[in-house]
Amino acid sequence: MIIQTFLNSDLFDLDLDQKDSEMLRRVGNSLNSTLEGIVKRFNNDEVDGPQWVFIDGIVDPFRGRGYCTSVEERLFVTASSSLVTQGDTEGTAHPNNKGHAIIGQVVHEHLLEHLVDTRPSAPVPPENPEAGAPRRRQAPRPIDPEARQ
């Protein structure tokens, strides 16, 4: 009851407006550009070493699902939600559980693309050609880093 009274009072004013949203977008875009540049520079400097992958495509699913959208659509933690769940407002504007799930899916897709070769090594004949049984899919095999040149 005390927290709810505080949230409804004039003392608690952490609403984000359009100006705040634009600032967060600029900072996020700048951070992403910096990270992408670091990955490119590292990969150029370490030709014979491990290669890094910048994971892009995370921003797109978040468009139109920002801080001010409905609870069902929102992919970010609000100030009041952060206060209730972790006792402070430090979680404000970070991805919520749905947002983290989307990030996880994008990262998963990049991992599959860059770490695992999902192509079958050879065609697998059907077990019973007369019955038209479906072909079994072979398990993915790791990519040979030497073959990626």
Please report whether residue 140 resides in a domain: no
pTM score, whole prediction = 0.63
Residue 9 lies in a domain: yes
Has residue 124 been placed in a domain?
no
The boundaries of the domain holding residue 66 are 2-116
Residue 63 belongs to some domain of the structure: yes
Q: Is residue 84 part of a domain?
A: yes
In a domain, 82, yes or no: yes
Domain count, the chain: 1
What is the H or E stretch that residue 116 is in?
Answer: strand 116-117
Q: What is the pLDDT along the chain (149 residues), one digit of tens a residue?
A: 444 544 454 444 566 777 887 888 899 899 999 999 999 988 887 667 667 889 999 999 999 898 888 999 999 998 889 999 999 989 988 999 999 999 999 999 988 887 766 666 666 666 655 555 444 444 455 555 555 44
Contacts by 93-102, CB closer than 8 A, 24 or more apart: 93/16, 93/24, 93/67, 98/74, 99/62, 99/75, 102/58, 102/61, 102/62, 102/75
